[in-house]
Structure 1
């Protein structure tokens, strides 16, 4: 299948899709290799490392138990044995637990064989050790058997344990080397796949670029001929991709341009008639624009008066706001004075209550003194003649205590009355404070309202000023529009003469008879196209046209194009062009404004 029959989007999709598939395969291979490495690392860290650690711990615990056992059996001290025997049992239990873990993690026959031999050595050692400990506990002398019988078993046990530990270290090292080999193998595999992907990407980019740029070069040549005014060229179109669609569109554009050129030539006279109508309409528009400008001037004057009134209201609102703020400040000061007065009244009330309490204490003291004097008089009466003088003193003290009690009652009555009056005054002061606070709050609300009124007045004044400025701007714009309308009317008068110059300018294009381009061999059987509708020429200002045509050959015959029309290529198998669908007539290009003289086109 030819690449020209495949769309560019499809080619791009296939190319990038292939690259994505290769990248996906590369990612899958990487994930697979990483999983293999992960399994090896898990085996190394979770199994081999754990076996090695448990073996090292087993060896350490065996050494501890041998030292304890030897010391205990050689000393033969019951107190010493009572200390070491529980520790030996605990360490032996830890060794048994670690031995079970190691047995569950064994993977190879060699490790299982060494483990079984180690287990048999440990069993022989433990049996003899248990028997010797039991004999020592019974009072037998077992020191000779420790060196002659137990030590050889302990050495054999230690040798077997050392061999097993060396084997576990060897397995751990081999597993680590296997993991490193897997990593190296994965790196080589990923690098190989990446290199293949790079080569395929380079080849795909070259093939894809070549299949796209060749038709584009052909399209550039055709567009260059059209730019030089040659609308008679023919070309071959092959394929069904986007570039073939581009060439088909260029063929349609050439035919449309030929039709447009013919239409412009035919409609030059109608431009003159239309220009007269445009001039009449511009005159009417100029009159209405002048009326609108007059009305806007009156509106601007009214807005200035309204703005002055609003500014005066804003100034009055600002003054009222300042007065309200002053009143609020005075009210706050008065409230502070009232609060100080209330605080002072409360302090006076507290002092009166403390004085009343003191008077109560004095009354109590007088009452107790009276009782003591009464007791003294009773004792003096019992004493008879010897206590008569003391009885006189007691009666005087009793009289003084009575008078003190009466005075204390009178003072307490006066103090109670004063405290009641002070309490009433405190209540009145509290009420005055509450009233003053309510007045302060009311003044504060009034101040806030006045501030809002002042802010609203300022915003209203600003808004009125903006409206006035907008109306003034509208007035200036309307006056400018009136001037532009007058210029437009003057420009419309020049359109008739410019129509002739337009025909001379359109003579630059070469067209076949009938105003259509000659179809190429591949488009020979294409259905006839609908003729283009007449296109109105764009409005051109006389001053601008005079500048452009000053150096143009407007009085000479049309010159030949810069490049000769290409010869018709040899017919090749290609897809025949189908009749294009009728398209609306192209819009007249607007004349770019390049100077201040062309500002009337904006209107």
Structure 2
């Protein structure tokens, strides 16, 4: 029956029982500690306080009686009044302590005893102490002596007996509480020992049962694991439990069954793998030969494209140089046109300056003419003056001569200036025509430059296009070389696959399967080492080395049925 209870439930039950036991021990310990604490609290806060209050009250009464006795012995002392005041203070202190005691909790029996003592105490104080204090204040020594000898002593003995009875009751109560505390302590110790013994027994029994429930199935599982590691998959795993160990053995049983199925599948599949790898190796031989032919054709194509690329590149370079020369000629023509324009502007400025000089010469000629007229008028006036004007007439004649010479010189200069203006005008016309011609030359050179630029651009585009074609051919050659290498790797892989299939068949042959389910072992296929043409590894690369461009992987073709392998390679 215990085999049907899970280990988890056993652990929970054991821990629960131990937990309840520990909780009970804890509760009992708390109750015991609380009881002991209450007893100590009762002794401290009630019994001890009561005894202390009663003792302080009685001591204060004794001191009051002692002070009165001193006054009776020395009634005429100077401090007699002060001693009586101190006696009254002691009585007040005694009343205060007694009231403290009466305020403490009391049992019925203690209440009866305290009431009796309170009555006797009041009688002692009122009829004894206060009466004696009054007689001493009135200096009535005889009355005080009479009170002390007759009533005061009897009242004190009665009060002292009541106080002793009450104190004895306090001591008896404290002893009873101590005995109860000791009894409770012994009970709790006994219960704790019983609980610990029971807990230890439960722990030992539970540990033994759990160890048997865990290690027995574990030993069985370890034996089965050892048999499986030795290759024996035919052992029967008997399951008699329904707990976690039973689940472990069930899992082990399923693992053994699935491992047996896997080993049988591996045995059956290893032969098929060897046969398929042999066929793959045969196909790789044909593929390697065709890849070699394709690589040779691509090599010739790459060589032709290399020559075409070189020619187009040379044409493109020549067109680029001609374009640069045309651009330089255009720049020179533009600069020449600018210089001709500056010459035209300069010739215009010279023509304007010549015209201004001609105008100035005309002004000078007019001034000379007017000077001549004025000199003539002066000579006429000098002739009229006679001898007085002769000297002036000579001067006027010289002035006329100078004016005539100035007019002649101005006329000559004017003629020269006019000739110069005509020459400058003709030069300006020629320069203007030259500027127009230079503009036409610049326009023509620009058209030539544009045409050469278009030729250069077309040549560059052709160069790029042929370069891309060459690059594509180089990539095709690279891919072909890679395909050849992959074919070799596939051939090597197929050979390795054959070897692995044989090794796998040999490895699984160590497993011993159930005779009812195991079939005949797969026959080892004859290994045939594929012969790959060595020439494929020595294919030449094209001379042109362009930057490699990533080639997108081709999508795999759908696999054809394995029934017609020869037709598959023929279609490739």
Structure having the higher Rg: 2
What TM-score do the two structures reach when normalised by structure 1? 0.47
